[in-house]
Amino acid sequence: MLNKVPEVTVYFWIIKILCTTVGESFADYINETLGFGLTNTTLVFSAALVIALVAQFRLDRYVPGVYWLSVVLISVVGTLLTDNMTDGHDVPLWISSTGFAILLAVVFGVWYARERTLSIHTIVTTPRESFYWLTVLVTFALGTAVGDWTLDLTGWSPGVSVLLPLGLILAVFTSWKLGAGPVLSFWLAYILTRPLGANIGDYLGSPHRDGGLGLGTLGTSVIFLGTILAVVVYLSITGRDRTEAVQPTTAEAVASGVGARDAS
């Protein structure tokens, strides 16, 4: 297989943050506004995620539409995992944060022990892709738990709450520029974009009396889903985030060789 994930460019981080915002706002819209409830919402999005991942695993290369659809759905499911533990089973946020952190460490440990790398630049086998998507799911659940726990501890307004994960991401970026390991820097930033995107969603969707912009969960979801779609279409056309050049098929190579001989 060619590498199954996109190159880490500015487009990657833009869509990732947009997806985390959708994970927060769209889950809240379906669960609370439409009244589906946590259990039904979790079942619906989990089924959709399974279908998307089946399509993703059947491909032999990175396809922007399928990949980012999977990320959007996994962001919703990861959010719902934490919400179910917190709201459905009264699990304290510090326990879920600790539990997901330990689980993430275990996944990383098994992944490295088997593959000897945690780099996303070589997701070229089914086992590596399996570890990758499991890691992504756990990072979304962990980011949700840590983000909610931080808000409970600080009591910050939606606007102010954006500054903490943003500052931490800038610190990770600075450390990477100064020589920190790229793999560690990537996964730290990946985790931190979850509370950043969620806090942005809360700021945009919360009513004015709570310090937000009052767009609502539906309005925020529509704006961000539309933006994700536009960027994904652009990337599908331009291939700006592909890590592997598309190789010609055997028929194309033969035809090219025949044409070259005829011309000579």
Report how far residue 70's alpha carbon sits from residue 211's, in angstroms, rounded to the nearest whole number. Answer: 32
The pairs formed by 53-62 with CB atoms below 8 angstroms and a separation of 24 or more are 53/133, 56/4, 56/129, 56/133, 57/126, 57/129, 59/4, 60/1, 60/2, 61/1, 61/2, 61/3, 61/4, 61/244, 61/246, 62/2, 62/3, 62/4, 62/5, 62/6, 62/242, 62/243, 62/244
Domain boundaries, the chain: 10-263
Report how far residue 77's alpha carbon sits from residue 92's, in angstroms, rounded to the nearest whole number. Answer: 19
Tokens of 169: 């991401």
Helix and strand numbers, DSSP H then E, in the chain: 10, 0
pLDDT digits (tens, 9 = 90+) for 157-207: 878 888 999 999 999 999 999 999 999 999 999 999 988 988 888 888 888
Using only C-alpha atoms, what is the Rg of the chain? 20
- The pLDDT of residue 262 is 44
Report how far residue 180's alpha carbon sits from residue 72's, in angstroms, rounded to the nearest whole number. Answer: 29
The pTM is what? 0.86
User: What is the mean pLDDT for each group of 10 consecutive residues in the chain (264 residues)?
Assistant: 90 93 84 85 94 96 95 92 90 95 96 93 93 95 88 84 92 95 92 88 84 86 93 94 56 41 42
Return all residues near 81 (Cβ < 8 A) that are at least 6 apart.
42, 137, 140, 141, 144
Report how far residue 214's alpha carbon sits from residue 16's, in angstroms, rounded to the nearest whole number. Answer: 23
- The pLDDT of residue 244 is 57
